[in-house]
A and B are shown apart, each in its own frame.
Chain A
Amino acid sequence: MHTHDAPAVRRQWLTDRVGAVEDALAARDLVDPAAIDDIIDLYRDRLGPQRGAALVARAWTDPGFRARLLRDATEVLTEFGYDGRGTTNSALPFLRLVVVENTADVHNLVVCTLCSCYPLALLGPPPRWYKSAEYRDRAVRRPREVLREFGTEIPDDVQVRVWDSTADCRYLVLPQRPPGTQGRTAEELAALVTPNSLIGTER
């Protein structure tokens, strides 16, 4: 009998269960383990907040692009082939993206109170806090309190709009362009966009 600490035993048990369901499906040719490896690579490395940041930076520098993004973000993504770089996954057709814009008077915050709906075909999987029971419970009811925990104080005269994205659409926040950034390139601006600002936990 081996001696293991409890977390290691649990990890092995869960790893074995995942392996087993994959084995049984692979035996019936319903999954391809190489395709699973590719999907992990896609969602861990090729998708990510950098893609949302690039959209935001372009919207900051191109008013026509910004207007179209706010009008129909799904169409913009399709037209611009948001992923022309080797993504074999069919995630894009299922991304119905809605972009909501922060202004001097409005701050937007995204949550899914029923599970964890998130624009993962663009940003990759959600971070741990987004999936937590605390965020799902409190973001819809006490958004200003939650924002304060992220270091974001919303002034009393700014309206908070919370988007509970429980259905087929996924939401991305277009933050305000930081002051004093005139003349910067879209690449330089994209580096200023934080992952949390794309969901609204930062302003």
Chain B
Amino acid sequence: MDTPETAARPAAPHQLGGADAFTGPVPGIDDAERFHEGWEARVFALYRALTDRRLFTTDQHRDAVERIDAGQYHEITYFERWLAAIERVVVERGLITAEELDAAQQRRFAGHDDDHPAPPHLAEYAPQDLTAPDTVDPLPVGTRVRLVDGLGRHHRLPDWARGRSGTIHAVRGLFELPDLIVAEASEGRRYPLYAVAIPARAAFPDAHPADVVYLDAYHPYLRQEA
């Protein structure tokens, strides 16, 4: 039964798990190359360099990827999404100004007088007012739980798990909540992260009866079941 916590949200383009939206063969099974273009390696390394220096976080970058226009998300390549997200985050975070980026692009483009396609469109960053408990009592292994959405726009609960029940299989440690990191409301608070075991049949009726899906979920994404 849907409760306010589990009511369906609009489909987000990154919520792919078990969506039955991409049913074709897995592409590139025999392709061992990690980077197929020089710029792909460079955008990957630029991301690593900036996150290693804590100029932005993985979650802020992912949030920007998730703000790419839903109609364009699958029309551009994986590393094009990364590039568009970096361009956006470095300006949003005030590392450089939009004018500085534009001027640097015009200098780079100057040697090539081609018509450029429009870059992907990203939704503007919207502040969120999130409330979260300061402390929680960790749940022990074996606890029966139901999975609910996270607190914010950028949360890490896959749609396929929403409303499903499972059992805590392991406690992975204490971590900051991505929802709060993106909302700049984390304040260093850390929450237990659990591996939750969900019988595959409970999530997908056509699954093999013996199979199990395990999901790492933060404490605020769980409700203890009786």
Contacts and interface: CB of A to CB of B under 8 A. Distances in A.
Interface of A: 1-2, 4, 9-25, 27-28, 30-32, 35-37, 39-40, 43-44, 89-91, 96, 98, 111, 113-116, 124-129, 131-138, 140-141, 143-144, 146, 149-150, 156-169, 195, 201
Contacts, number: 264
B86 interface: yes
A167 B156 contact: yes
B42 A125 contact: no
Contact of B24 (A2, A134, A158): A134
B65 A115 contact: yes
Contact of B17 (A90, A113, A132): A113
Contact of B44 (A1, A15, A125, A159): A125
A199 to B, nearest CB: 12
B70 to A, nearest CB: 13
Q: Which 8 A-B pairs have the closest CB atoms?
A: A113-B17, A141-B18, A128-B28, A167-B216, A39-B45, A16-B108, A20-B104, A133-B22
B7 interface: no
Given A22-B42, A40-B41, A136-B17, A166 B80 contact: no
Chain B CB count within 10 A is highest, among A31, A89, A164, for A164
B207 interface: yes
Nearest to B99: A24
Interface size class of B (residues with CB under 8 A): 35 or more
Contact of A167 (B39, B86, B193): B193
B15 interface: yes
Given A14-B39, A35-B49, A30 B18 contact: no
Nearest to B58: A94
A22 B37 CA distance: 17
Nearest to B80: A14
Given A18-B43, A150-B26, 18 more contacts: A13-B116, A13-B117, A14-B83, A16-B108, A17-B83, A18-B83, A21-B96, A24-B90, A24-B103, A37-B45, A43-B48, A128-B27, A137-B18, A141-B207, A164-B158, A165-B216, A168-B172, A195-B32
